[in-house]
């Protein structure tokens, strides 16, 4: 899973997170524990999703894995002008393509979507296969963006972080549009502003970073399983074949 997933393991173990917040003087562990509990609560289905994906990935599981990410994405990209709306729209739009395909074809799993559309020789554009492929790519981009963002919280240049994650994930798929996307990312907010938005203007930066680290820990196995599944059913080949 790790090799195909291409998502780095979180830098800090949970024990190190508590040390991190104590050293920064968060005023005790009550606030950090509270935000970790909230993150865990929001991701309470993670274990169930991971378990089920060892055998089968349902569209419902996929929706559960993506839930909540839009909030992070909007805070991350707000201020980046059109890029923000494009990326958020792509992510939710691709999920809708997947859900629509499952409904129309009377199937429930990701694998069944690909098999059914292939058997029917369904048009690739706006299909469930296209949605699966681009959702995979987008999830990789945002996970890496957040992971790089919290790796060095004191570096305030969020635009540089986004570009690094973009170059490692989506850039190779966007072709001539990649340069335009990089320019749009220059409008991303500073990390200070991003953390403020994520904390609702109340939680400290340290607590927000702790929550985001917890999110990367909880979401990584889920996203990796999804990426592995897409690789196993050759979802990238679907796009290549459609272009012939």
Residue 106: predicted pLDDT: 92
Separation CA 51–CA 42 (nearest Å): 18
Which are the contacts of 140, defined by CB distance < 8 A and separation ≥ 6?
6, 7, 169, 170, 223, 227
Q: Which residue has the higher pLDDT, 46 or 76?
A: 76
Mean of pLDDT over the chain: 72
Separation CA 209–CA 233 (nearest Å): 35
Cβ contacts of 176-185, under 8 Å, gap ≥ 24: 181/83, 184/80, 184/81, 184/82, 184/83, 185/80, 185/83, 185/159
| Predicted TM-score (pTM) above 0.75 | no
Query: How is residue 187 annotated by DSSP?
Result: G
Separation CA 111–CA 133 (nearest Å): 12
Architecture, CATH, for domain 2-232: Orthogonal Bundle (1.10)
Residue 58 main-chain phi, psi, to 5 deg: -90, 160
Q: Is residue 244's pLDDT more than 50?
A: no
Q: Which residue has the higher pLDDT, 4 or 129?
A: 129
Separation CA 81–CA 188 (nearest Å): 8
The helix/strand/coil state of 58 is strand
Alpha carbon 189 to its chain's center: 19
The helix/strand/coil state of 21 is helix
Q: Is residue 20's pLDDT more than 60?
A: no
- What does each C-alpha distance from 153 to 91, 170, 212, 227, 233 come to in angstroms? 26, 24, 11, 27, 37
- The predicted model gives 21-41 an average pLDDT of 50
Percent of the chain exceeding pLDDT 70 equals 62
Q: Which residue has the higher pLDDT, 35 or 227?
A: 227
Residue 26: predicted pLDDT: 44
Segments making up each domain of the chain, as ranges:
2-232
The helix/strand/coil state of 109 is strand
Residue 91: predicted pLDDT: 77
């Amino acid at each position: 899973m790790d090799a195909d997933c291409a998502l780095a393991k979180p830098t800090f173990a949970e024990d190190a997170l508590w040390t991190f917040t104590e050293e920064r003087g968060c005023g005790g562990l009550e606030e950090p524990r509270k935000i970790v509990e909230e993150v865990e609560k929001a991701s309470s289905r993670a274990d169930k999703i991971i378990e089920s994906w060892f055998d089968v990935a349902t569209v419902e599981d996929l929706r559960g894995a993506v839930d909540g990410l839009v909030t992070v994405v909007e805070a991350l990209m707000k201020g980046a002008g059109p890029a923000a709306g494009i990326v958020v729209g792509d992510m939710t739009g691709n999920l809708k393509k997947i859900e629509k395909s499952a409904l129309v074809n009377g199937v429930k799993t990701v694998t069944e979507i690909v098999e059914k559309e292939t058997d029917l020789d369904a048009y690739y554009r706006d299909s469930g296969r296209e949605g699966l492929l681009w959702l995979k790519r987008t999830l990789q981009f945002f996970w890496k963006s957040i992971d790089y963002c919290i790796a060095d919280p004191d570096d305030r240049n969020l635009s540089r972080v986004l570009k690094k994650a973009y170059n490692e994930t989506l850039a190779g798929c966007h072709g001539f549009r990649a340069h335009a996307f990089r320019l749009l990312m220059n409008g991303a907010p500073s990390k200070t502003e991003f953390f403020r938005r994520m904390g609702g203007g109340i939680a400290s930066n340290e607590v927000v970073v702790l929550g985001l680290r917890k999110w990367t820990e909880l979401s990584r196995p889920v996203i990796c399983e999804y990426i592995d599944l897409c690789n196993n059913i050759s979802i990238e080949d679907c796009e290549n074949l459609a272009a012939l």
